[in-house]
Amino acid sequence: MLPGLFILLACQLVGETIVRALGLPIPGPVLGIILLVSLLALRQRMTGNDSASDTTNIGQAADGLLRYLGLLFVPAGVGIVQSFGLVAANGAALIGALVLSTLLTLIITVAVFRLVARRSKS
Q: Are residues 60 and 19 in the same domain?
A: yes
User: Could you tell me if 104 and 47 lie in one domain?
Assistant: no
For residue 31, count CB atoms less than 10 angstroms from its CB and return exposed for 0-12, middle for 13-18, buried for 19 or more.
Answer: buried
pLDDT of 61 strictly over 70: yes
Say whether both 27 and 44 belong to one domain: yes
Distance (Å, rounded) from C-alpha 44 to C-alpha 57? 15
pTM: 0.61
Give the separation between CA 45 and CA 17, rounded to whole angstroms. Answer: 27
Q: Which domain holds residue 98?
A: 75-122
Q: 52 and 5, same structural domain?
A: yes
pLDDT of residue 9: 94
Query: Which candidate, 48, 53, 69, places its Cα nearest to that of 3?
Result: 53
Q: Max CA-CA distance within the chain?
A: 57
**pLDDT, position 57:** 85
Count structural domains, the chain. 2
State whether 5 and 56 are in the same domain.
yes
User: Considering the chain, what percentage of its residues have pLDDT values greater than 90?
Assistant: 64
